[in-house]
Amino acid sequence: MQIVITGGAGFLGARLARTLLKQGKLSLAGAPAQPIERITLVDRAGAPTDLAADARITTVTGDLNAQLAADADATVWREADAIFHLAAAVSGECEADFDLGMRSNFAATHALLEKVRTLGTKPVLVFASSLAVFGDSPEQPLPKVIEDHTLPTPQTSYGIQKFIGEQLVADFTRKGFVRGRSVRLMTVSVRPGKPNGAASGFFSGMIREPLAGLPAACPVPDATPVAIASPARTIEGIIRAAEASDAQWGPRTALNLPSLATTVGEMAAALERVAGKAATALLDRTPDPTIQRIVKTWPGHIDTVRARALGLMSDENFEAVIREYVRENPDAVKLPGVA
């Protein structure tokens, strides 16, 4: 089996690749599992060292749009049995730079779908969408609980671009060009590594940085609701989307992945239980109106009946999520006394 991961050098792309390599095989759309022969990571950056050292990993570096536009060599796309399309510009970047978002999120997704349509290979294609397709506004307030059939009402450029991507995947699937599966990722926390340009980035930073003994911004009120998923649960959902048969998957509309409903205040309290008051003392509670304006439109409570039917579950609680991060990233924890 040949697999392509766009955004493959990023945090989720690399974690997905490691998980697939560990599995060694994958079932696509209900078919019997096949050995994974090659995973191609497509990204602007090179693969992490551990992945680059694996003989099953191939890397293609450069701008995704430029690669898809090139006619010289389409081998990577032609041979792909499955494509996980994770490459994207993140929410804060898209609000600050409209053209970047349209190129990275809309144009690249359209170009990828057109490439496989032209090749006629009909791969399984998993598209990483976002809970940002749901947005609250005075004119059209969100319901208290988002359900599988709730109408998306995005309030940011990023959310609009992701929703367009979902609809493109659905129509290319309807026409038989791909076997598309769109999954809406929740706010992923705790992400290791450096901060990114996402408006949601502080949801990881407010945990990650204090555990490293560093100050961190927490720019929204304690009562701010958030739908969280750990990296492990997120990758489970992405892989399960590729595995599910057409009958199990159901409608062509995007699937909301499971989430843990919590608040910023509850997240800080969980951090204190794990790492003590020294950790929460490092939180800078200075409000950021730009971040607040974006984050407050996102839903905090999501009922994921379709996902549960696929065997997917949310994290138990946020303290468990933090402890999982500590176990997986012991070298990143510098604060004394972390329990």
The SS3 assignment for 284 reads strand
CB distance 152 to 168 below 8 Å: no
Tokens of 223: 């009562």
CB distance 56 to 20 below 8 Å: no
Q: Which of 158, 203, 298, 318 is catalytic?
A: 158
325 a catalytic residue? no
Over 4-29, what HEC string results?
Answer: EEECCCCHHHHHHHHHHHHHCEECCC
Distance of CA 90 to the CA centre of its chain: 10
Helices 318-328 and 202-211, packing angle to 10 deg? 60
One-character DSSP codes across 174-237: HTTS-EEEEEEE-EE----SS--S-GGGHHHHHHHHHHTT--EE--S-TT-EEEEE-HHHHHHH
* Cα distance between residue 339 and residue 323, in whole Å: 9
Single-letter code of the amino acid located at 42 = V
CB distance 280 to 117 below 8 Å: no
Catalytic residues: 158
